[in-house]
Amino acid sequence: DSGVTQTPKHLITATGQRVTLRCSPRSGDLSVYWYQQSLDQGLQFLIQYYNGEERAKGNILERFSAQQFPDLHSELNLSSLELGDSALYFCASSAEGLADYNEQFFGPGTRLTVL
């Protein structure tokens, strides 16, 4: 058990809908990362937050947004869903400082199926 939790484990929804994926980092970890893994696109880095602020942005679509709350949990919001958004979404956390960081710990992922 990595200590990172993600809910829900599975999500089935329809095109055009909006969903929210939740991630709770390991206790004390300030950084949260979101990744998407799909058959078409492979593994992609979406976004990183550090202590509530966005630090780095990857291939995140405009229809997607994320935030990290004061209690350090993070949510990834996916809207106007398309079939191609079906994927496994991973969250990871690390005890990252400004100069260096420790290893990333991954959650079990949320499998999103868009029908």
Binding mask 22-51 for another protein (x = CB under 8 A): -------------x------xxxx--x-x-
* CB closer to another protein out of 56 and 83: 56
Reply yes or no: is the peptide bond before residue 8 cis, omega within 30 of 0: yes
Q: Which SS3 state, helix, strand or coil, does residue 84 take?
A: helix
Rounded Cα–Cα distance for residues 50 and 19 (Å):
23
- Which of 96, 110, 112, 114 contacts another protein by CB under 8 A? 96
* CB closer to another protein out of 13 and 37: 37
- Judged by CB under 8 A, does residue 55 bind another protein? yes
- Which of 38, 60, 75, 106 contacts another protein by CB under 8 A? 106
DSSP 11-78: EEE-TT--EEEEEEPPTT--EEEEEEEETTTEEEEEEEEETTEEEEE-S--TTEEEEE-TTS-EEEEE
Which residues sit at the interface with another protein, rule CB under 8 A? 2, 35, 42-45, 48, 50, 55-58, 88, 90, 92, 96-101, 103-106, 108-109
